[in-house]
Amino acid sequence: MKKICLLLPNGFEAVEASVFTDVFGWSKDVADGSTELITVGTREELTCTWNFTVKPEKLLSEVTAEEFDALALPGGFEKAGFYEDAYRPEVLGFIQEFEKQGKIIAAICVGALVLGKSGVLHGRYATTYNLGTGKRQSQLAEMGVNVMKDQPIVIDQNIITSYNPSTSFGVAFALLEQLTTKEHADHVKRLMGFHE
């Protein structure tokens, strides 16, 4: 069974986390049971961007990268404290461990900025939030990342990034496909009502 760590910093955007819980939940309980997603928070109770609270299954201090096959990371909002929490050394170090072990890392929207801050995207291709002034993509470029501005989802070796919340399901299915097979990911898509 493939184990996925859904890393939740405070201030994360709920919809970007929920696609991972749903896709991997369907994979586990309705499809073949080949995946298991564990929610791992930076604190015992997290406040999402839009002000509801979530209690993760485990705390970051209770897990190691060795326990998982992949890491999933949603984005969040600055005003909700996302960057303040996600840029903490223990979060960045945790991400670095996944990269050192060559494990798959998937980030939605500004989750890519956290990957950039950790250094795992240096010299790699990626994207991040693409609307408005382009501020977030410029920030990612300043971190030494080759930003693909017009690509919704960018896969560079073991790292998947995307440019806004509309890409969330695409990222979750791309991660599922990399952990299992294209056939399995397509099967889960059909079970969930997505049509090719």
**Structural domain boundaries of the chain?**
2-190
- H/E stretch holding 179 reads helix 168-179
CA 163/CA 125 separation, integer angstroms: 12
106 CB burial (10 A radius; 0-12, 13-18, 19+): buried
Q: What is the pLDDT of residue 196?
A: 59
pTM of the prediction?
0.96
First-to-last alpha carbon distance for the chain, in angstroms, is 26
Taking the CB of residue 183, how many other CB atoms lie within 10 A of it? Answer: 9
Q: What is the pLDDT of residues 30-82, one digit of tens each?
A: 878 899 999 999 999 999 998 899 999 999 999 999 999 999 999 999 999 99
CA-based torsion, 152, 85, 19, 66: positive or negative:
positive
> 2-190 belongs to which CATH class?
alpha beta
